[in-house]
């Protein structure tokens, strides 16, 4: 695997509500806690807390917009998360291939 895995980042995106929030923000080009709460099965206060988690790991950034705050996905940080996921996936693929080869060797030795 290349690079270290950011556990805080993966903890943040491990929550299905936060993943849905990221989807909505990407689709809409941004949003406020109010607009997000209208489309999610949680309160505005819960949305604000989830946005705080995403903000602490750098997945969203905020811009004041009148009385509201506009949240947008940080695409560079999201790309880093995707790269980490691909790296983890590749490492597990390699592990599973080794396990398969060992299992096949054991199976062949039992048949002989």
Residue that is written with structure tokens 């599973």 in the block: 96
Distance in Å from the first CA to the final CA of the chain: 37
Report long-range pairs for 80-86 (Cβ below 8 Å, ≥24 apart): 80/6, 80/9, 81/6, 81/9, 81/10, 81/13, 83/3, 84/3, 84/5, 84/6, 84/9, 84/10
Q: Identify the structural domains of the chain with CATH numbers, from first to last.
A: 7-111 (1.10.10.10)
pLDDT digits (tens, 9 = 90+) for 88-107: 888 899 999 999 999 999 98
Q: Is the pLDDT of residue 54 over 80?
A: yes
Residue 10: the pLDDT is 84
Q: Is the pLDDT of residue 5 over 90?
A: no
DSSP letter string, 39-79: TSSS-HHHHHHHHHHHHHTTSEEEEEETTEEEEEE-HHHHH
Say if residue 43's pLDDT is above 70: yes
CA gap 3, 11 in Å, rounded? 17
Mean pLDDT for all residues in the chain: 91
């Amino acid at each position: 695997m290349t690079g270290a895995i950011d556990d805080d980042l993966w903890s943040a995106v491990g929550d299905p509500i936060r993943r849905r929030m990221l989807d909505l923000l990407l689709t809409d080009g941004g949003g406020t806690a109010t607009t997000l709460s209208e489309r999610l099965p949680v309160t505005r206060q819960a949305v604000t807390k989830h946005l705080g988690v995403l903000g602490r790991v750098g997945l969203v950034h905020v811009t004041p917009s009148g009385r509201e705050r506009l949240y947008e996905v940080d695409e560079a940080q999201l790309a880093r998360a995707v790269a980490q996921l691909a790296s983890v996936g590749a490492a597990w693929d390699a592990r599973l291939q080794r396990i398969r080869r060992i299992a096949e060797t054991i199976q062949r030795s039992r048949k002989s």
